[in-house]
Amino acid sequence: MKKRITIFIMSLLMSFILAASPVAGVFGPQTTITAHAKKTTKKTKKKAKKVKNSKVKGIVLLAGATKKLSVKGGKNFKSSKSSVVSVSKKGVLKANRPGSATITAKSSSGKYSVKVTVPEMNMNITAAEVFLGDTMVLYAGNGYNVKWSSSNAQVASVNNGTVTGVGVGSAVITATAGKTSVSCNVTVPQFSLSQSAATINYGDTLNLSVSKATNVTWSSSNTSVATVSGGVVKAVDDGNAVITATAGGFSASCNLTVVDPVVIRQPTISYKTIVRQAQVGSKLVDEDVNQVTITFNGLPKRAKHMRKISRGDGNGSELDGKQDGKYLTVACALAAMTAYSEGRDADGKAMMDVLLVSPHISSAVVGSAGNLSYYFGYDNKKEKLPWAFFDGSKPYNYNHSQPVKVIMEEYPYAPKKSTIYGVELSIEQVQFHMDNHPCLKNNLTVQVYRDPSDGQWYLWPSGFNSLLSTASIN
């Protein structure tokens, strides 16, 4: 009994000695930290894996970008290389330039560290040629909140990466993110026209092109001579004009000369006396009349040509019936009709107006009398009018520089005098006789008058329609 009590007391003393030993701290109240490091509960494994992954993967931050670190109880944030990545007291990262840095801090669970990498910035194009008025798009890779600038905005401007050529010269386009930048050297060349001088014929066109420029505007210094649209120049009269192409405030020009290939000379006129019968009362009597042959050494093709032909009396008079202008006016009307026959209605109308509008008969009075489009609306009329009156001419193949003749006669009856539009006008008739024109089914007459104000002969507005009747032509 005494022996059992002694053993029990010894065991109890050993328990107290072990409890007081330093080795007992591994298991005591301070084991929480140690347990995080050594125990393998599910909860401990999850936390350890998260910390380990952040260290392995790190953070990639584009130049110019910011990021706030989420660290529980984080403080004393530091960067191993602030020139690459800086960090604020609150753990906000800022990527400054390419490289890497380690960010450290104290957290509620101990030390925290992460590696931050800032990749190199790059530009999709590092050197380029941009035409005046043209654009080019630049991209800055691996940059955040990129700011764009030009070293010479008078040459090349930039807006959010879109570069526009605005002047001749060179400029450096720079993209900046954080403290990092990349650039592209841009050259804007001087542009030029395909031709600096040209000579073309009236009525022709000239195609001009511009090299090394876009968004070009075109202009003509003399639109009465030449017009231009999109580089296509149209000669509308003979003379000179400067065609200019402008882009980005710069210009290039072509000195244009328009010549008229049709040389208009005063038609020649010859007279021959023939005998025609005229009705006098109830009798037919013989009358001496003038047979007139007019030779054009080039038919007028437009109003400007028509104005070059004088339609005055020449050496003739009312007594001898040899007033040149009386017959030339009718011949010129046939020339104007050729423009309609060739489909040049605007030229035809302009020429007819030269023959119809006089000092005493205005364009308002003439109205649409000179618009003969209706009469030439069918091919059979184009083939007959006015070619039936010309000697040896055929439609569509007439060369306006070749001589062409037309024969007409003095009308055997006296002219009619009438006071109209405030002046006395002597209205006379000119005849086309079947003897001279086998193509005619009957004789035709055309009425003309001489205006005393300028001494020129004109068509009577309602007195030339017989020329337009294909029913009178075989």
The pLDDT tens digits of the residues spanning 61-99 come to: 999 999 999 888 888 899 999 999 999 999 999 999 999
Q: Among 317, 333, 423, which residue's Cα sits nearest to residue 370?
A: 333
Q: Which residue has the higher pLDDT, 179 or 37?
A: 179
Q: Which amino acid is at 323?
A: Q
| Per-residue pLDDT tens over the stretch 120-155 | 999 999 999 999 888 999 999 999 999 999 999 999
Under the banding of pLDDT at 50, 70 and 90, the label for residue 399 is low
Provide the mean pLDDT of the chain: 84
Residue where the block lists tokens 């993209």? 175
Q: Among 179, 182, 175, 181, which residue's Cα sits nearest to residue 85?
A: 179
Under the banding of pLDDT at 50, 70 and 90, the label for residue 401 is low
Looking at residue 33, its pLDDT comes to 27
Looking at residue 124, its pLDDT comes to 95
DSSP per-residue string spanning 69-95: ---TT-EEEEES-TTTEEE-TT-EEEE
Looking at residue 400, its pLDDT comes to 56
Under the banding of pLDDT at 50, 70 and 90, the label for residue 425 is confident
> Which residue ranges form the domains of the chain, and what is each CATH number?
51-118 (2.60.40.1080), 122-188 (2.60.40.1080), 192-259 (2.60.40.1080), 268-472 (no CATH)
| Cβ–Cβ < 8 Å for 430, 410 | yes
Structure tokens at 183: 């650039």
Residue where the block lists tokens 């007081």? 20
Least confident of 40-54, 217-231, 415-429: 40-54
Looking at residue 447, its pLDDT comes to 95
* Tally of CB atoms within 10 A around 264: 20
Span 158-179, mean pLDDT?
95
Looking at residue 57, its pLDDT comes to 64
Residue 32: pLDDT above 70?
no
| Cβ–Cβ < 8 Å for 134, 215 | yes
Helix extents (H) in 357-402: 363-366, 379-384
Q: Which residue has the higher pLDDT, 123 or 264?
A: 123
Under the banding of pLDDT at 50, 70 and 90, the label for residue 14 is very low
Who's near 245: CB < 8 A, 6+ residues apart? Answer: 191, 193, 208, 210, 213, 216, 217, 218, 231, 251, 252, 253
Residue 20: pLDDT above 50?
no
Under the banding of pLDDT at 50, 70 and 90, the label for residue 438 is confident
Least confident of 62-66, 275-279, 435-439: 435-439
Span 114-124, mean pLDDT?
94
Looking at residue 398, its pLDDT comes to 53
Under the banding of pLDDT at 50, 70 and 90, the label for residue 51 is very low
| Per-residue pLDDT tens over the stretch 297-318 | 888 988 999 999 999 999 999 8
Looking at residue 18, its pLDDT comes to 31
207, β-bridge pairs: 232
Terminal Cα-to-Cα distance of the chain (whole angstroms)? 168
Taking the whole predicted model, whether its pTM rises above 0.75 is answered as: no
Residue 256: pLDDT above 60?
yes
Q: Which residue has the higher pLDDT, 227 or 423?
A: 227
Alpha carbons 157 and 152: distance in angstroms, whole number: 8
> Can the peptide bond before residue 98 be classed as cis, meaning omega within 30 degrees of 0?
no
Is residue 244 helix, strand or coil? Answer: strand
Looking at residue 359, its pLDDT comes to 93
Residue 12: pLDDT above 50?
no
The alpha carbon torsion through 31, 37, 38, 42 (nearest 10 deg) reads: 100
Under the banding of pLDDT at 50, 70 and 90, the label for residue 262 is confident
Looking at residue 28, its pLDDT comes to 28
Element (DSSP H or E) covering residue 11: helix 2-19
